[in-house]
């Protein structure tokens, strides 16, 4: 049961341009969303989060947008750098679950080319 979907398995972007990674969710109870970056042989690294009371959150080169009516969020990276090449995971949390379990998407592999 895929409650969090990342429909693009991969994305290639030129250095300096914008990278846009997309994520859709089906569970309307989700109210906290996170993006993680993962390099091979490492664990997921937290990037940025957003709660459902906001529609945008910005941290440096990273901005997350949330469209609750469309059940869609996106991560923008501007400008993209070669070091951003990694797998990006979208994750969501349902507050009705007392354990704060994160539901992950399958990830999008981003390649930033010089």
Partner 1 sequence: EPEVTQTPSHQVTQMGQEVILRCVPISNHLYFYWYRQILGQKVEFLVSFYNNEISEKSEIFDDQFSVERPDGSNFTLKIRSTKLEDSAMYFCASSESGIQPQHFGDGTRLSIL
Binding site for partner 1 (CB under 8 A): 32, 34, 36, 41-46, 49, 51, 89, 91, 93, 95, 97-107
Report the C-alpha gap between 68 and 54 in whole angstroms: 9
45 vs 113, beta carbon nearer partner 1: 45
Beta-bridge mates of residue 48: 35
Query: From the centroid of its chain, how far is CA 50?
Result: 10
CB of 98 to partner 1, least distance (A): 5
85 vs 108, beta carbon nearer partner 1: 108
- Residue of 36, 28, 31 whose CA lies nearest to 6: 36
Q: List the Cα angle 67/69/70 in 5-degree steps.
A: 70
11 vs 48, beta carbon nearer partner 1: 48
CB of 26 to partner 1, least distance (A): 14
CB of 105 to partner 1, least distance (A): 7
């Amino acid at each position: 049961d895929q409650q969090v979907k990342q429909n693009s398995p991969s994305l290639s972007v030129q250095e300096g341009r914008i990278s846009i990674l997309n994520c859709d969710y089906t569970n309307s109870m989700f109210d906290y969303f996170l993006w993680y970056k993962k390099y091979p042989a490492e664990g997921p690294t937290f990037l940025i989060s957003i709660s459902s009371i906001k529609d945008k959150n910005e941290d440096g080169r990273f901005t997350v947008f949330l469209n609750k009516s469309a059940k869609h969020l996106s991560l923008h990276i501007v400008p993209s750098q070669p070091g951003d090449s990694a797998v990006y995971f979208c994750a969501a949390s349902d507050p009705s679950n007392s354990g704060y379990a994160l539901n992950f998407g399958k990830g999008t592999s981003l390649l930033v080319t010089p």
